[in-house]
Every structure is written in structure tokens, then in C-alpha cells.
Amino acid sequence: MDMVMIKDMVIMLFVGSVPKTATEDDIRPPFEEHGNVVEVAFIKDKRTGQQQGNTVFASAGCCFIKYATSEEADRAIRALHNQYTLPGGVGPIQVRYADGEQERISSVEYKLFIGSINKQATEKEVEEIFSSYGRVEDVYLMRDEMKQSRGCGFVKYSNRDVAMAAINALIPLCWPSDWCAAELP
């Protein structure tokens, strides 16, 4: 059985009330207390066209923080929104999901591509195997024009941890196949 994870996800937060003199070195540490910060992205100043970074260019007073998981982003929002003031700031920062981010997050799927499936297997049988690692949202077996199984398909989970549990448990069963590999964001 071969498995590959489909779908990368990065969660983007908007941070407002950022002092014009703030650098990435000022912003990153308080956010890293709540998870792995993938990226800090400053807004470019409309007058100068310069992006604020490790220099002291004028900023638009905001930036974006990218986390790998929504749990990390939620922790940062709860801990920092209206509660933390950056060095040089006159008041607490505003931390929230970037516009459209919550809608995008709610549509995220963790879908595993499964290859080398017995062509006689049914969706129900595949679901039974994968449901032992968590709730399966959907099973789709690919079929040809004659409705015969092609021996591959998809298993969909809504939770990254459950998808990882399935991959970690089932990967050793398909080893040493060169096609058996899985990575999650």
C-alpha cells in the first residue's frame, strides 16, 4: 500500500498596531512562544516601497505571521491580542486571522492517496482499515469506465494528527516500496 499526503497548509495571522521601528527580531519572539513561526511578512511602505525587516524603514503599522497549525495561531491570538505591546509601541498589538483565512481553514482536507489497493476491496473495507486511526470523512476508490477498481484511491480525514497516525502505522506495512512515502506540513 502506497500513501501520499495531499494538501499543505499555513495559517496566516494579521498583526496590527506594529510600531514603525519594529523589526522581525522584535516581532518573532513573542509569537514563537505559542508555536513555530513559519514566516514574518511586513507590509511595504507606500511612500518608499521598502519592506520593513531588520532595518528601521517606516512600516504600514502591520505585518503577517504564518504558523504551521491553527492550534498555534489560536494560542497566539488568545495570548497576544490586546494584551502584548511590542518594544516601541504605544499600545497592545491587534492579532487576528488574516481576511479570508478562517474560511480557507474550514475547507482544509487531509487526503491520503492510497495505491496498491486490492482491486476487489470495497470502500467500506478500506474505511474499516483507516478508521482504526480516527474518523474517516470519505473514501474514494478510482474506477475505470467499466466501474472496475484501478487499485488506488483516496481516504480523507479532517484532522492532521489522525492522518499522520494512519501514515505512521501503515507505512511500515508497505516498505520497502520506493513509492511509499509521506510527508505532512
Amino acid at 125: E
CATH H-level, domain 11-106: superfamily: RRM (RNA recognition motif) domain (3.30.70.330)
Only one residue has cell 502506497, namely 2
User: Would you state the pLDDT for residue 172?
Assistant: 62
pLDDT at 108: 66
pLDDT for position 163: 87
pLDDT at 84: 95
Report pLDDT digits (tens) over 43-89: 766 677 655 444 444 444 889 999 988 889 999 999 999 999 999 88
User: What global pTM score does this model have?
Assistant: 0.53
pLDDT at residue 107 in the model: 65
**Is the pLDDT score of 39 beyond 80?**
yes
**What fold characterizes domain 109-174?**
Alpha-Beta Plaits (3.30.70)
pLDDT digits (tens, 9 = 90+) for 135-174: 898 898 888 888 899 888 889 887 888 888 888 888 765 5
- pLDDT at res. 159: 80
Predicted pLDDT at 45 = 64
CATH 3.30.70.330 positions along the chain are 11-106, 109-174
What is the reported pLDDT for 49?
Answer: 64
